[in-house]
Amino acid sequence: MKTMKGPGLFLAQFAGDTAPFNSLDAIASWAADLGYKGVQIPTFDGRLFDLDKAASSKGYCDDIKGMLADKGVEVTELSTHLQGQLVAVHPAFNEAFDAFAPEAVHGNAAARTEWAIDQMKKAAVASRHFGLDTSVSFTGALAWPYLYPWPQRPAGLVETAFEELAKRWKPILDVYEEHGVDVCYEIHPGEDVFDGATFEMFLEQLDGHARCCINYDPSHFVLQQLDYLAFIDIYHERIKAYHVKDAEFNPDGRQGVYSGYQPWVQRAGRFRSLGDGQVDFAGIFSKLAAYDYDSWAVLEWECALKHPEVGAAEGAPFISDHIIKVTEHAFDDFAGGDSDPAKNRRMLGL
């Protein structure tokens, strides 16, 4: 068995315009002081990272690795969540998602898609420059507006959406294959791949592409009321990244899974800081350890109530306390003996 790495911290929710959150050097020092051993870098935040430079210059990546090493941390993965989102956008969301892209491609869906695809391919090269085997992203969505089957969906609509989604992602995944890097998709509402069933549909259209993997985040499954422990049993071979994020679901007589368009604080399902929600992390860490998950446990903080700096400070010891240093031998080895085939046959009366 293998022991996972951690704690790591996804920096996206903490980046800002004031110190220590406005540069990778400063925010990494802050994270290290809290006890984090790794940082997941949002490649879409220019205050922290230059993806174009990382793809064209291994020296730039080596300098970052050295700077982080001096602080006692390392890169866990490169995140391309926003660029992945823009690989596939339904027209209903064009204006909203333009904010994720450079102003030069605003109002031009085709140009925005090409920009996102180019960004994804650059992230494959940059990941290899860092010596990383995994990255984390979103799939984007074409079918999401048709999630609920009313009005009745015409035959073939969803199938066509997934065919197109895979058509866009296959060349990207091939580049990741060339560089030996997995794309770990966060299974997330708002993406066409939001649960196990949709992941299987996507994977089937990709002909089981080896680089199509999962960034496991139980919080999104709590909000959907999906069995997040059974999910690990089913998909553990594809789980190559892990966002440690808590959530709670408290339905009442007024709202349930869809939460009535309410703001986050008032929703039946909402994200919480680690330990404040309903996720069975002891069960998750145990299952991942049993399946030899040896990558990172990375905090993604998105609490509706608690201050982010408090959540970050609490997150490092929480993850450290849950990581299971796996045993190197069975607990009852003291009572065992050497293998003796003849003795085994005698014990069985053979």
Its pTM surpasses 0.85? yes
- What is the reported pLDDT for 330? 67
pLDDT digits (tens, 9 = 90+) for 290-326: 999 999 999 999 999 999 999 999 999 999 999 999 8
Q: Are 308 and 14 in contact (CB under 8 A)?
A: yes
- What is the reported pLDDT for 335? 61
Q: What is the DSSP letter of 285?
A: H
pLDDT digits (tens, 9 = 90+) for 226-238: 999 999 999 999 9
Mean pLDDT of 57-77: 98
Q: Residue 127: exposed, middle, or buried by beta-carbon count in 10 A (0-12, 13-18, 19+)?
A: buried
In which band, very low, low, confident or very high, does the pLDDT at 339 lie, cut at 50, 70 and 90?
Answer: confident
Three-state secondary structure call for residue 345: helix
Residue 93 pLDDT greater than 70, yes or no: yes
Mean pLDDT of 16-24: 98
pLDDT digits (tens, 9 = 90+) for 169-211: 999 999 999 999 999 999 999 999 999 999 999 999 999 999 9
In which band, very low, low, confident or very high, does the pLDDT at 332 lie, cut at 50, 70 and 90?
Answer: low
Residue 334 pLDDT greater than 70, yes or no: no
**Both tokens assigned to 208:** 């089981």
In which band, very low, low, confident or very high, does the pLDDT at 5 lie, cut at 50, 70 and 90?
Answer: very high
- What is the reported pLDDT for 331? 61
Residue 10 pLDDT greater than 80, yes or no: yes
In which band, very low, low, confident or very high, does the pLDDT at 63 lie, cut at 50, 70 and 90?
Answer: very high
Question: Could you please report the per-residue DSSP string of 297-328?
Answer: EEE----SSS-HHHHHHHHHHHHHHH-----S
- What is the reported pLDDT for 294? 96
Nearest partner of 134 among 177, 178, 181, 175, judged by Cα: 181
- What is the reported pLDDT for 248? 98
Q: Are 81 and 42 in contact (CB under 8 A)?
A: yes
Mean pLDDT of 139-168: 98
In which band, very low, low, confident or very high, does the pLDDT at 66 lie, cut at 50, 70 and 90?
Answer: very high
Q: What is the 3-state secondary structure (H, E, C) of 259-281?
A: HHHCCHHHCCEEEECCCCCCCCH
The CATH class for the domain spanning 5-347 reads alpha beta
Residue 277 pLDDT greater than 70, yes or no: yes
- What is the reported pLDDT for 135? 98
Question: Could you please report the per-residue DSSP string of 40-98?
Answer: EEETT-TTT--HHHHHH-HHHHHHHHHHHHHHT-EEEEEEEHHHHHTTSB-GGGHHHHG
pLDDT digits (tens, 9 = 90+) for 104-138: 999 999 999 999 999 999 999 999 999 999 999 99
In which band, very low, low, confident or very high, does the pLDDT at 340 lie, cut at 50, 70 and 90?
Answer: confident
Residue 254 pLDDT greater than 60, yes or no: yes
Nearest partner of 183 among 192, 174, 173, 196, judged by Cα: 173
Sequence ranges of the domains in the chain: 5-347
Q: Are 88 and 164 in contact (CB under 8 A)?
A: yes
- What is the reported pLDDT for 166? 98
Distance CA 84, CA 158 (A): 20
Q: Are 303 and 271 in contact (CB under 8 A)?
A: yes
Quote the mean pLDDT of the chain: 96
